[in-house]
Amino acid sequence: MIYLDNSATTRPFDGVIEAMASSMREGYYNPSAAYGPAIAAEREVRACRRAIAEQLGAREEEIVFTSGGTEGDNLAILGAAQALRSPGVFACSDIEHPAVAETIARVERMGHEVLRLPVDARGVLDLAACERLLSPRVALVSCMQVSNETGAVQPVEALSRLVKRIAPGALVHVDGVQGFLRVPMHMARMGVDLYTISAHKIHGPKGVGALAVRGGVRLAPQMTGGGQERGLRSGTLNGAGIVGLHAAVREMAARRAEVEALRGMKRRLLDDLSGLPGVTVNGPLPQEADSAPHILSLSFEGVRGEVLRNALEAEGVIVSTGSACASHKQKVSDALLAMGRTREQADGTIRVSLGLMNAPGEMDEAAARIASACEQLRRYRRR
């Protein structure tokens, strides 16, 4: 099998599995307890905080552990909304993941005003349009670092400068689930107040992640109880999951050159498909600086993405038609429509996403099977 759906989830590193097994066998103590073995477990938790903070240009005490990206996004956005004394303006891009888009919609139902920020035909935020839309009343702007559908890297630093100039008190939240440890992030230098990560997107375990919260930012907790995580996220910490996240962060950081080498694989796959007519790249081209190294969105004329995905699975190639969170709904991608794609183009799209378990030679085989499947499906399309 050739697995090319790493934006949905990644296979954990062997070191992650081993670290978690050891934690569950020997380090299973509650990190909040006061006796010796529990204090050792708390040291493991602190080590993970430090490792994440080092990669983000943040401080150890600014890292709040969560159950993953969705919870982190909810805590950032709802927490900011509920901390306000009066209704404010919340903004997000037109291409956000449902974890942000649906949460922003909930904020609107709470009585806050909502702005949708447009993107250009490449799926990159239109900063000139943002400047016209934003006002001093803005309380929070949320923008993904990397599009989970197209791999477009968003101009986070430029957006933050723009937001802080127009609305100095506004918060900037970045959904870094597809960006963390694949494209650079330095929260202090880039003006980011809140940053979300998820372990299972970086070859770690499912069910654990973190929200980095800049010191001084006020959030209303969404889970109350024992007051863990500085009162921002009550509940017994997922010790084994945090140990696994730490192992994943360490290995991803050590293999940074291999992460960037995924860009070459992406180009190789696209080059291999160059002889197939009717192929459109959605998002920046692989060689462009604002293209993430691991995600490639392709539309195929005369082929439905869902049908192509199923045909490829039968041939041992696993891809997706977009966000895994929405794949069962069989709806046309709002993000692609926001980029100006037609409904037919959006319906004919698959997403290829790479991870550190992929090998260059797999690109040739995958491209051959994609081309063969497209040619066969086009023969049987309705005329």
Angle between helices 256-272 and 360-379 in degrees, nearest 10: 30
Residue tagged active-site, from 48, 92, 325, 374: 325
Q: List the structure tokens of 289.
A: 């600086």
Q: How far is CA 226 from the centre of its chain?
A: 29
Long-range contacts of 85-90 (CB under 8 A, 24+ apart): 87/111, 87/112, 87/113, 88/112, 88/113, 88/137, 88/138, 88/139, 88/140, 89/113, 89/114, 89/115, 89/135, 89/137, 89/138, 89/139, 90/114, 90/115, 90/138, 90/139, 90/140, 90/141, 90/142
Say if strands 89-93 and 138-144 run parallel, antiparallel, or are unpaired: parallel
| Beta bridge partners of residue 115, listed in sequence order | 91
Dihedral over alpha carbons 159, 164, 165, 170 (to 10 degrees): 110
Say whether 143 is catalytic: no
Q: Which two tokens stand for residue 291?
A: 């293209």
Among residues 235, 284, 251, 211, the alpha carbon closest in space to that of 357 is found at 251
Tokens of 145: 């670092």
Crossing angle (nearest 10°) for helices 256-272 and 239-254: 70
* Residue 3 phi, psi (nearest 5): -95, 115
- What letter represents residue 130's amino acid? C
The answer to whether residues 120 and 126 touch, using CB atoms and an 8 Å cutoff, is: yes
| Interacting residues of 271 by C-beta distance below 8 A, sequence separation 6+ | none
Hey, is 252 helix, strand or coil?
helix
Residue carrying structure tokens 């904020």: 107
- Please choose, from the candidates 236, 232, 238, the residue with its C-alpha nearest in 3D space to the C-alpha of residue 75: 232
The catalytic site residues sit at 325
